[in-house]
Amino acid sequence: MYRIAVIPGDGTGPEVVREGVKALEAAAEVAGFDFQPTFLDYGGDRYLRTGLTLTDEELEELRAFDAIFLGAIGHPDVKPGILEQGILLKIRFGLDQYINLRPVKLYPGVECPLKDKGPEDIDFVVVRENTEGLYAGTGGFLRKGTPDEVAVQESVNTRKGVERCIRFAFEYCRRRDKERKLTLCGKTNVLTYAWDLWERTFREVAAEYPDITTDYAHVDAICMWFVKNPEWFDVVVTDNMFGDIITDLGAIIQGGMGIAAGGNINPQGTSMFEPIGGSAPKYTGKNVINPLAAICAVQMMLDHLGEGEAAERVERAVMRVCERDIRSLSAGKMGKSTTEVGDLVVKYIREV
Ligand code: IPM
Ligand code: MN
């Protein structure tokens, strides 16, 4: 029996989470396991009502779950940053979810914006460090509001944090067993302190993994290669900020935010799975948003929980919907409603 915390969140979050939970129910039934969802109302509406984002007690309560399934955080009436920091980042940091795992996989039938590239070319995974770097929140203002103002935002890179991330990436690359190639994505030519530490650590850990081929790319260059030669990549490891940026590029080459999902992983604790698109306020309540990204997040969650067969069923169901049933992955252009897409996934989970 898995205890799952479900945080539908803001905007279209609840609509896509509903379909994700449907897929989870079907997968559980077919694979023969049980789960108990606990719905939590953290998000913009609760914040506007109560002034609370996520309290320390609530954060503690999340530790008791086997996994967290999150819809979206972000509300048009709340100043940007409050909910992101108060809920999303508070969970990532508080539960020490030090890996943000973001697969970039183009499924057959999905339109790709890259000329002459298909599913055989686009299948890699980004391992993003998820608790340090520029996201650590250190820095500050000097003489704020004056003409002599100074703003400092520091990138924090600890040996421990860098090493555990790189180690995870090597292990993941080995387990994935595809090309057995791990690319470090950094900026050693300019950010000479942080990336010196990353590169040294990468080289040292690599010595323990002789079966993995290693490579290095600067972050600016990797943006070019993702577009020109996505087939070169198997697993990419990078820091928090670069990982944030390159995974939006990754999402668009796999068909967009309609399908991109990620896992915030603490291998020893509670992990959280989410579609990586935002709360899409303009589509809220219209039943037109694509639920496949949320369903892919469920797939990742199942995989993480050790329910490999269920995860595979969900993935095959998503692939079938992409190939047979929807015209586009974009909200409002699928030719089907959010609910209908979820219903089809459920049907295929039972069939495949
Ligand atoms: C993401 C998002 C978040 C991030 C925001 C909403 C804080 O862009 O999950 O990639 O920057 O990590
Ligand atoms: Mn992002």
Task: Tell me how far the alpha carbon of residue 32 lies from the centroid of ligand 1, in angstroms.
Answer: 34
Active site annotation includes 187: yes
Query: Which DSSP symbol is given to 73?
Result: -
Nearest residue (CA) to ligand 1, atom 6:
84
**Predicted pLDDT at 304:** 98
CB 248 within 8 A of CB 44: no
CA distance 54 to 312: 33
The bound ligand whose nearest atom lies closest to the alpha carbon of 241 is 1
Q: Smallest Cα–Cα separation from 82: which of 56, 51, 58?
A: 51
Residue 335, amino acid: G
Substitution candidate for ligand 1 out of 89, 129, 244 with most atoms within 8 A of CB: 244
CB 59 within 8 A of CB 68: no
Cα-based torsion angle of the residue sequence 100, 106, 112, 113 in order, rounded to the nearest 10 degrees:
30
One of 90, 187, 234, 336 is an active-site residue; which one? 187
161 and 212 belong to one structural domain: yes
Q: What is the CATH number of the domain that holds 205?
A: 3.40.718.10
159 and 246 belong to one structural domain: yes
**Predicted pLDDT at 44:** 98
One of 135, 239, 303, 336 is an active-site residue; which one? 135
Last residue of a domain, one of 230, 254, 278: 254
CA distance 256 to 22: 22
98 and 160 belong to one structural domain: no
Helix ranges (H only) for the chain are 13-31, 44-50, 56-62, 82-83, 90-94, 159-176, 194-206, 219-228, 240-253, 292-305, 308-324, 338-351
Go through 277-288 and write b for each residue having 16 or more CB atoms within 10 A of its CB, e for each that does not. Answer: bbbbbebbeeeb
62 and 95 belong to one structural domain: yes
319 and 207 belong to one structural domain: no
Pairing of strands 261-265, 99-105: antiparallel
Residue 58, amino acid: E
239 and 125 belong to one structural domain: yes
The bound ligand whose nearest atom lies closest to the alpha carbon of 74 is 1
Q: Locate 79 and state its tokens.
A: 């100043």
Nearest residue (CA) to ligand 1, atom 5:
84
Task: Tell me how far the alpha carbon of residue 348 lies from the centroid of ligand 2, in angstroms.
Answer: 31
208 and 298 belong to one structural domain: no
Type and span of the H or E element at 272: strand 271-275
Residue 119, amino acid: P
**Alpha carbon separation from 91 to 38, 65, 135, 301 (Å, rounded):** 16, 13, 13, 16
Task: Tell me how far the alpha carbon of residue 66 lies from the centroid of ligand 1, in angstroms.
Answer: 23
Task: Tell me how far the alpha carbon of residue 336 lies from the centroid of ligand 2, in angstroms.
Answer: 27
Q: Is the CB of 276 under 6 A from ligand 1?
A: yes
Q: Cα-flanking dihedrals φ and ψ of residue 142, to 5°? A: -125, 135
Instruction: Report pTM.
Output: 0.97
Last residue of a domain, one of 189, 222, 254: 254
287 and 320 belong to one structural domain: yes
Task: Tell me how far the alpha carbon of residue 133 lies from the centroid of ligand 1, in angstroms.
Answer: 14
Active site annotation includes 220: yes
CA distance 98 to 100: 7
236 and 130 belong to one structural domain: yes
Active site annotation includes 209: no
177 and 221 belong to one structural domain: yes
Task: Tell me how far the alpha carbon of residue 30 lies from the centroid of ligand 2, in angstroms.
Answer: 34
**Closest atom of ligand 1 to CA, residue 89:** 7
215 and 95 belong to one structural domain: no
235 and 332 belong to one structural domain: no
Last residue of a domain, one of 191, 226, 254: 254
CB 101 within 8 A of CB 265: yes
**Predicted pLDDT at 42:** 98
Orientation angle between helical segments 308-324 and 292-305, nearest 10 degrees: 160
CB 194 within 8 A of CB 153: no
Range of the domain at 198: 112-254
One digit per residue, pLDDT tens: the chain, 352 residues?
Answer: 999 999 999 999 999 999 999 999 999 999 999 999 999 999 999 999 999 999 999 999 999 999 999 999 999 999 999 999 999 999 999 999 999 999 999 999 999 999 999 999 999 999 999 999 999 999 999 999 999 999 999 999 999 999 999 999 999 999 999 999 999 999 999 999 999 999 999 999 999 999 999 999 999 999 999 999 999 999 999 999 999 999 999 999 999 999 999 999 999 999 999 999 999 999 999 999 999 999 999 999 999 999 999 999 999 999 999 999 999 999 999 999 999 999 999 999 999 7
**Predicted pLDDT at 352:** 79
Q: Is the CB of 88 under 6 A from ligand 1?
A: yes
The bound ligand whose nearest atom lies closest to the alpha carbon of 264 is 1
Active site annotation includes 66: no
CB 127 within 8 A of CB 240: no
**Predicted pLDDT at 229:** 98
Q: Is the CB of 84 under 6 A from ligand 1?
A: yes
Q: Per the structure, how many domains does the chain have?
A: 2
Active site annotation includes 135: yes
